[in-house]
Amino acid sequence: MEEEGSVQFIQQKNTTPTCCSFHPKDRYAFAFGSHEGEITVVNALRGEVVRSVPLASFSLGRAINALTFSPDGTKAITTSVARKVNIVDVERGAPLLAYDNCANPADTRQPLAVHPALPHLAACPTVNARGITLLDLRMPLPLDFIYDLHEDSINDLCFLDGSWPWGSGKAVLVSGSALGEVKVSSVDGRPICSFTTSYPPVTCLYPSPERYNISVSNGYPSVMMASTGEGLVCWCVGERPWKWETQKVNPGRVSQMRYTLSGGLLYTAQGKTVQRYRRYPDQHQLVGQVFTHSASIIDLDISPYNEYLITAGKDNTVGLLHLGAPNHGWTQCCEFT
């Protein structure tokens, strides 16, 4: 079995990374957005830059504050402090489309989510950060706006597939605000339910990766993880969500977190460090520190087959860690004697 490697910090001389994301289909390709308005595509196997795609002119606000890929991997989606959403053709490295005045212009990392089943549907906070902008990537204008969903800014949002109980078989949006409120709403803006934390704000949301309660017979209920003012909180999700675990972390807020594909391990970005947690039926146990940047970590992601972990830090570096063999099997050749 392959062992975990040593972290490689890819120093950026002319760009400041602000967000990062792995390609959903290519096991080695990932991209990061920069303060200078460029998307940089990197090969994780070699740790080398493949290409850079500029998205903004020098006369406009250029910083990219969110980056993700469409589920089919054909498009990269970004938001920027210019209130723009840009769509980029990944294969050609060329901008395809831009939506004006529909994204939050904050210079901190912003949430950006894509529908789990529809590769053309994406969502991000509105300009005032209290609502959600829905985008159909096949259309030249935004699809819809859910105005004033929260009373304060939305710090994170995600789609849940139709297996979860709230959407009656259809995907729903989950959003968390600076006031500590988590709301579940349909894609057309209809409120479904909400619940609040004891200590706001909610800074990060992330669900367990399996379909809803597919592993409940083995004692592993589906959960929603949330980073709040009281630490890392876990909700066991049912018809009415309820909190069953609070993991005190130091520092208390998690800027980003990701489960491995099986849901057995959780990686979190906490201040300057990446931490690893093991998931049990009734708790998440801290395994230990994985590596540390010299400044706060802004974003974190894991490759589709759990081979690599990447981070974007305020120290102008992109962290790249080889976690081990891909989860679909060992790919090296050897001879038995």
Angle at 68 between CA 259 and CA 213, to 5 degrees: 35
Q: Whole-prediction pTM value? A: 0.92
User: In angstroms, rounded to a whole number, what is the distance separating the alpha carbons of residues 28 and 18?
Assistant: 20
Considering only residues 281 and 87, tell me which one the structure prediction assigns the higher pLDDT: 87
Q: Residue 11: its pLDDT value, please?
A: 85
**pLDDT reading at 238 higher than 80:** no
Average of pLDDT values for 26-44?
Answer: 93
Q: Residue 217: its pLDDT value, please?
A: 66
> Torsions phi, psi of 165, nearest 5?
-70, -15
Query: How many other C-beta atoms can be found within 10 angstroms of the C-beta atom of residue 169?
Result: 9
Query: How many other C-beta atoms can be found within 10 angstroms of the C-beta atom of residue 32?
Result: 28
The full DSSP string for 214-256 is TTGGGT---EEEEEETTEEEEEE-SSS-EEEEEE--SSS--SE
Average of pLDDT values for 49-60?
Answer: 75
Task: Identify the CA nearest to 15 among candidates 272, 225, 317.
Answer: 317
Tokens 């800074």 label which residue?
203
Strand 181-186 to strand 191-196: parallel, antiparallel, or no bridges (unpaired)?
Answer: antiparallel
Residue range 70-121, pLDDT digits in tens: 998 999 999 999 999 999 998 888 889 999 999 999 999 999 999 988 889 9
pLDDT confidence band for 331 (50 / 70 / 90): very low
**pLDDT reading at 221 higher than 90:** no
Q: Residue 265: its pLDDT value, please?
A: 95
Percentage of the chain surpassing pLDDT 70?
Answer: 93
Residue 69 φ/ψ region, left for φ over 0, alpha for ψ in the -120 to 50 degree band, beta for the rest: beta
Average pLDDT across the chain, whole number = 89
Considering only residues 36 and 309, tell me which one the structure prediction assigns the higher pLDDT: 309
Whether the link from the prior residue into 201 is cis, omega within 30° of 0, is: yes
pLDDT confidence band for 302 (50 / 70 / 90): very high
User: In angstroms, rounded to a whole number, what is the distance separating the alpha carbons of residues 296 and 119?
Assistant: 32
Which class would CATH give 8-322? Answer: mainly beta
The full DSSP string for 99-148 is E-S-S---SS----EE-SS-TTEEEEE-TTSSSEEEEETTSSS--EEETT
Q: Residue 333: its pLDDT value, please?
A: 47
